[in-house]
Amino acid sequence: MISSVYIHIPFCSNICTYCNFTKFFYDKSRVSSYLDALENEIIKRYQKEEIKTLYIGGGTPSSLQLEELQKLFQIIKKFKLASNCEFTIEVNPESLTEEKIKLFKENKVNRISMGVESTNPKFLKYLGREHDFQLVKEKIDLLKKYQFKNINVDLIYALENETIKDLEKDIDNLLSLDVPHISTYSLIIEEHTKLHILKAKNIDEDLDYEMYKLITKKLNSHGYKHYEISNFSKPFYESKHNLVYWNNDYYYGFGLSAASYIPNKRLLNTSSFRKYLNQEYIEEIEELRDNDILSYALILGFRKIDGINKKDFYDKYKVDILSLYNIKELIKEKKLINTTSHIKVSYDKIYVENDILINFVGE
């Protein structure tokens, strides 16, 4: 049963130097035709399932004008939302207004994810962001004023010339916001980004590791639980939507370049605006055999710090997780830990987890 939806809004008023998501400069006529096309796609593909998590990401969804957002929420009314549906929208500080916040509230949005990325003016400039930390504080206060409790802030670290001290300051600033969810990403200079074109450099790998250790230590000590490789939350504030990915559950992805997982298939939507308007939504289909499904279940499930629940795994796939691949051997090598209920990656190896996960792909 599919009970999650991702919607991609590929517009931004400003392009960040590190971003290689599908996005375009905000353009009024484009937004209008895009929203029409989005509505078409949803009508065509959505099968009236009850939706328990809904996530509007981008791009910058908050860069849409108020009336465009109204149109978007109109479209979303097509979904049968569960009463406790987790409904997230991504925003950036500069485009978030009191009117938009009110509109979110009216339309049952109950989780906000804000791209803060850095609190240091120098690095905000490097990342191509146009806000400052003062604005972040004001917008978080405004959200709280409208009873938004479930807020996430994103942090990007490991920037060229960044020091441990710089990072410590960033973390302290984020902690001062008193929000229940923090995501942290080590900067990866991807192709087709401004940073890549400008030949930006990665920081020293040793320093990167020091930074990772500092983040886990600080956030853990402030009551944030490290529940997924890049994600930390106060109790009960884990992102339910993201857990759908890690639990290998089904989800629809609507919009440009959105990914879907439906029974036995993983789909990737086109990233061509023209094709999308032409209703040629799907670009790639990955047909999944039984062992592909198990492979995904493992490489995604082990991203969770608590790992994979053995009983849930058996109930879902009718196979004993211990019998798969070389899991027993990895337990013997102490790379995986076998607890009474779960199998998880040894905490000191989370940082280099790919070395474990490659056991579960290929032949």
Partner 1 sequence: MKQENIRNFSIIAHIDHGKSTLADRILEITNAISKREAKEQLLDNMDIERERGITIKLNTVRLNYKYKGEDYILNLIDTPGHVDFSYEVSRSLAASNGAILVVDATQGVEAQTIANMYLALDNNLKIIPVINKIDLPSADIKKTKQELMDTFGFQESEILLTSAKTGEGIRELVDAIIERIEPPKGDRNAPLKALIFDSLYDSYRGILILARIFDGTLKVGDEIEFMQTGSTYLVTELFAYNPNFLKVDSLSSGEVGYIVASIKTIEDVKVGDTITLAKNPCLESLPGYKPMQQVVFTGLYPTETNKYNDLREALLKLKLNDASLTFEPETSEALGFGFRCGFLGLLHMDVVEERLEREFNLNLIATSPSVIYEVLMTDGTLIKIDSPKKLPEPTKIKTICEPYILTNIFTPSEYIGALMELCQNKRGNYKTIEYLTPERAILHYELPLSEIVYDFFDKLKSISKGYASFDYNLIGYKPSDLVKMDILVNGQVVDALSTIVHRDFAYNRGKVVVNNLKAIIPRQMFVVPIQAAIGSKIISRADIKAMRKDVLAKCYGGDVTRKKKLLEKQKEGKKRMKKIGNVEIPQEAFLTVLANEEIND
Interface residues toward partner 1, by CB under 8 A: 6, 8, 21, 57, 158, 184-186, 188, 205-206, 208-209, 212, 229-230, 242, 245, 251, 253, 257-261, 266, 268, 284, 286, 295-296, 299-300, 333, 335, 349-358, 360-362
In whole angstroms, the minimum distance from the beta carbon of 32 to partner 1 comes to 22
Q: How far is CA 130 from the centre of its chain?
A: 22
Contact call for residues 21 and 59 (beta carbons, < 8 A): yes
Tell me whether residue 10 or residue 93 sits nearer to partner 1 (CB atom): 10
Contact call for residues 58 and 23 (beta carbons, < 8 A): yes
In whole angstroms, the minimum distance from the beta carbon of 45 to partner 1 comes to 15
Beta bridge pairs of residue 192: none
Contact call for residues 143 and 116 (beta carbons, < 8 A): no
- Residue labelled with tokens 């339910």: 240
Tell me whether residue 323 or residue 354 sits nearer to partner 1 (CB atom): 354
What are the strands of the beta sheet with 265-269, ordered from one edge? 259-262, 265-269, 282-287
Q: What residue type is assigned to position 78 of the chain?
A: K
* Residue 35 in tokens: 């929203």
How big is the CA angle at 180 (ends 21 and 133), to the nearest 5 degrees? 65
In whole angstroms, the minimum distance from the beta carbon of 280 to partner 1 comes to 18
How big is the CA angle at 162 (ends 203 and 219), to the nearest 5 degrees? 100
Buried b (16+ CB within 10 A) or exposed e, 319-339: eebeebeebeebeeeebbebe
Tell me whether residue 120 or residue 248 sits nearer to partner 1 (CB atom): 248
3-state DSSP of 245-267: HHCCCCEEEECCCCEEEECCEEE
Tell me whether residue 57 or residue 101 sits nearer to partner 1 (CB atom): 57
In whole angstroms, the minimum distance from the beta carbon of 184 to partner 1 comes to 8
In whole angstroms, the minimum distance from the beta carbon of 293 to partner 1 comes to 12
Count how many residues are written for the chain. Answer: 363
In whole angstroms, the minimum distance from the beta carbon of 283 to partner 1 comes to 11
In whole angstroms, the minimum distance from the beta carbon of 53 to partner 1 comes to 11
Tell me whether residue 101 or residue 162 sits nearer to partner 1 (CB atom): 162
Tell me whether residue 101 or residue 156 sits nearer to partner 1 (CB atom): 156
Tell me whether residue 147 or residue 192 sits nearer to partner 1 (CB atom): 192
How big is the CA angle at 92 (ends 267 and 81), to the nearest 5 degrees? 50
